[in-house]
Amino acid sequence: MEFLTGLFSPSAWATVWTYRGTFLLGLRNTLVTAIFGLLLALVLGIIFGLMATSGKKPLAVIARIYVEFIQNTPVLLQMCFLYYTLAFSGLGADITVVGVITLGVYTGAYMAEVVRAGIQSIPRGQFEAAQSQGFGYVQYMYYIILPQSIKIILPPMVNQAVNLFKNTSCLYIVGGADLISLTYSFVTGATTGGAYAPAYLVCGALFFIVCFPLSTLATAWETSLKKRDAGSAAALNKAEEVS
């Protein structure tokens, strides 16, 4: 009942507004962690995606082990493991570093699958044609295969970026300074406690402001690509009928 009462309490909303810097700081910390985590995820995704499609069995096996292990264990468990490993090793567990590494490695496994699927969607004849022209693996990937697979890869990559941003909430469990953690500290604080509903609504709104445009972009992008492919296929069929 206290939660619902706070939702319509002018004083609760006034408290949230007074301490708005807390929420903006949490958003900033979340964005920093997400951006650097995303950069790491992209690097790992490209590396392991290329390994999976390299045609070299040892590399493909390593990539598959990484993807399966990371995808089939909770990101929260991975974060706790890294945090306590660093803490008890004497290296010191910087929360931001823990967040970047954990979220980067976790999302990287999904990025690797996106890259693998994108590359494998290119007709085999493209690979054979490139090899017949004397292109090496790096050359035909860089000049021929990857440019064609970008349009397939990017929409799901944007979705993974959204998931990474939302997964920053896991930092709460190791005492981070992300948006969720600072919101919880706010609602349980000695001077700010009690404004539960306004605080969590503001927190949710900030997540929505970041995630919704990205999700909408990914959906629109994917729909546009499907329409373009369907149009190209229809034009090709028409040309074949005429000929």
Residue 38 host element (H or E): helix 20-52
Task: Let me know: does 230 contact 47? Beta carbons within 8 Å.
Answer: no
Per-residue pLDDT, 229: 61
Cα separation of 113 and 159, whole Å?
13
Q: Which residues are CB-neighbours of 69 under 8 A, at least 6 positions away?
A: none
Per-residue pLDDT, 207: 95
| Long-range pairs, 9-12, Cβ under 8 A, ≥24 | 9/195, 9/198, 12/194, 12/195, 12/197, 12/198
C-beta neighbour count of 227 within 10 angstroms: 10
Cα separation of 127 and 122, whole Å?
8
What does the block give as tokens for 68?
């399966």
C-beta neighbour count of 33 within 10 angstroms: 28
Task: Let me know: does 164 contact 30? Beta carbons within 8 Å.
Answer: no
Residue type, 140: Y
Per-residue pLDDT, 149: 83
Per-residue pLDDT, 193: 72
Q: Which residues are CB-neighbours of 53 under 8 A, at least 6 positions away?
A: 60, 115, 116, 119, 120
Give me the residues of the chain with pLDDT under 70, please: 1-8, 91-92, 226, 228-243
3-state secondary structure 68-128: HHHHCCCHHHHHHHHHHHHHHHCCCCCHHHHHHHHHHHHHHHHHHHHHHHHHHCCCHHHHH
List, for residues 148-202, the tens digit of each pLDDT value: 888 888 888 999 999 999 999 999 888 878 999 999 999 888 787 778 889 999 9
